[in-house]
Structure 1
Amino acid sequence: MNKTHALTIIQKIKSRPLIGGIIITAFYFFGILGILSESKDWFIEKTAFNLSLSFLILVFYQKNYSLSLLWGFLFCYLIGFTAEYLGVNFGLIFGDYIYPETLGLQLGGVPMIIGINWFLITFCVAAIIFPLKLNIMLKIFIATLLTVLIDFLIEPVAMELNFWNWETNEIPIQNYVGWAIISFLIYSFYAIIKLPLENKISLVLLIWQIIFFACLNLFLVS
């Protein structure tokens, strides 16, 4: 297979977002079933892989690649990771919690994949909210609120699956305030740099993230 033929195949796949949607649907759907099955531990161990795959598919189906996209990713990753580092090591921003080894390779007690997770959520939310014909500050506020609501779904499941653990085994209000602050800063930066948000897979990915945590809240969390 020569380079031209390979590029043609890639372009054909990229022009068919249904393929990416099917892959995401399969991974999240069977992820739900797997975590609710006797093979729970095996599926939980694959969480970092699933997040990495979701990120690669999201980037693959991005319409425009630019420095703004790169800067947006780097800012989101760094501010998200830094906030988590301050939380884990000093109890700042989110509260007192720790990360076990469930989410893979760590730096300073924080999984390297966690910055990717911040980008997946905020990019997908921004891709849905920012195109609306509203005042930019209202868009940022709505995106921030939606992100915090998503975290309400994530937190109980994360504790149940041992993604992270709170010192008192209770989710503090400080955590949600922290999520609101960090999300607001990220969305504000996205708005300033005019992050390119045309992506054929972002809505599907966001919907499945919500379905995933909503289902596990319903059937797994006691």
Structure 2
Amino acid sequence: MIKTQSVSFIQNIKSRPLIGGIIITAFYFFGIVGILSESKDWFIEKTAFNLSLSFLILILYQKKYSLSLLWGFLFCYLIGFSAEYLGVNFGLIFGDYIYPATLGPQLGGVPVIIGVNWFLITFCVACIIFPLKLNVIVKILLATFITVLIDFMIEPVAMELNFWNWENNEIPIQNYVGWAIISFLIYSFYAIIKLPLENKIALVLLVWQVVFFACLNLFLLDNLI
């Protein structure tokens, strides 16, 4: 009886994407406000939780579940995490940087949640770009370009919030080249396996990710100048 009620409750929420949109909006909006307030540290500490919640909501509102979705997530997580591991430990792909404890539990100096973050960004971008009536190579390149643009917004804020720290506090061009390479590989894999991309919340999540970092670039970094 309890199991049936739980399934019914989840199905009820799943059929109402507005609920997911409101939750995402609330968390990101108050995240911006909180980080710009005197309670900044408390909100920054909740970043890993926010990423985990975003992932769960994204998966909840996925229309089709399949093995290709699982393979897409695993490939993205593993290649993203592996690239980060090589960067942190050997200075390869992205450059020389380290992760403090801000983003939660780590494995080999890399936060466990970072692979989820790679999936959140690439999956949401793919949901918007891949349905367009364009050549598949053009779609992959366009998605890669957008992902690198998002990283341009992320990097300055990430250093200020102590998500990760670059050597000499300088973001190398190598980082953006690395993001382009890894993103290209991920999107290519998504295209090959025909990743199911019908998701009722992906656009909302992507917009709020962009708004989140755009606002912090505008207000947080501007106050430091």
Letter in 2 for 1:206: L
Task: Give 1:1-222 correspondences, 5 Å limit.
Answer: 2-221=2-221, 222=224
TM-score by length of 1: 0.99
Separation in 1, partners of 2:147, 2:131: 17
The structural deviation recorded for 1:5 is 2.7
Structure 1 segments unaligned to the other structure (5+ residues): none
CA distance in 1, matches of 2:12, 2:104: 33
Deviation readout 1:124-173 (Å, 9 max, x if unpaired): 00000000000000000000000000000000000000000001201000
Aligned amino acid, residue 47 of structure 2: T
Q: Within 2, Cα distance between the matches of 1:10 and 1:54?
A: 16
CA distance in 2, matches of 1:18, 1:51: 19
1:3 Cα shift?
A: 2.5
Per the normalisation by structure 2, the TM-score is 0.97
Q: Which amino acid aligns with 2:203?
A: L
Distance in 2 between the 1:178 and 1:63 partners? 32
Deviations 1:95-124 (A, max 9, x none): 000000000000000000000000000000
| SS at structure 1 position matched to 2:104 | coil
Q: Deviations over 1:57-105 (max 9, x none)?
A: 0000000000000000000000000000000000000000000000000
Displaced runs of 4 or more, over 3 A = none
Mapped partners of 1:115, 1:6: distance in 2: 29
In 1, the alpha carbon distance for the partners of 2:84 and 2:170 equals: 17
Q: Quick one: which amino acid aligns to residue 150 of structure 2?
A: I
Cα deviation, residue 214, structure 1: 0.1
1:6 and 1:110 map into 2 onto residues whose CA distance is 35
Structure 2 runs not aligned, ≥5 long? none
Rounded Cα–Cα distance in structure 1 between residues aligned with 2:109 and 2:136: 36
User: Which SS does the other structure have where 1:168 is aligned?
Assistant: helix
RMSD: 0.7
What is the identity, as a one-letter code, of the residue corresponding to 2:167? Answer: E
Shift of 1:12: 1.2
Which amino acid counterpart does residue 85 of structure 2 have in structure 1? Y
Number of positions where the alignment pairs a residue of Structure 1 with one of Structure 2: 222
Tell me, what secondary structure is at the counterpart of 2:103? Answer: coil
Give the CA deviation at 1:11.
1.0
Whole-angstrom CA distance in 2 between matches of 1:99 and 1:11: 38
Identity of aligned residues (%): 86
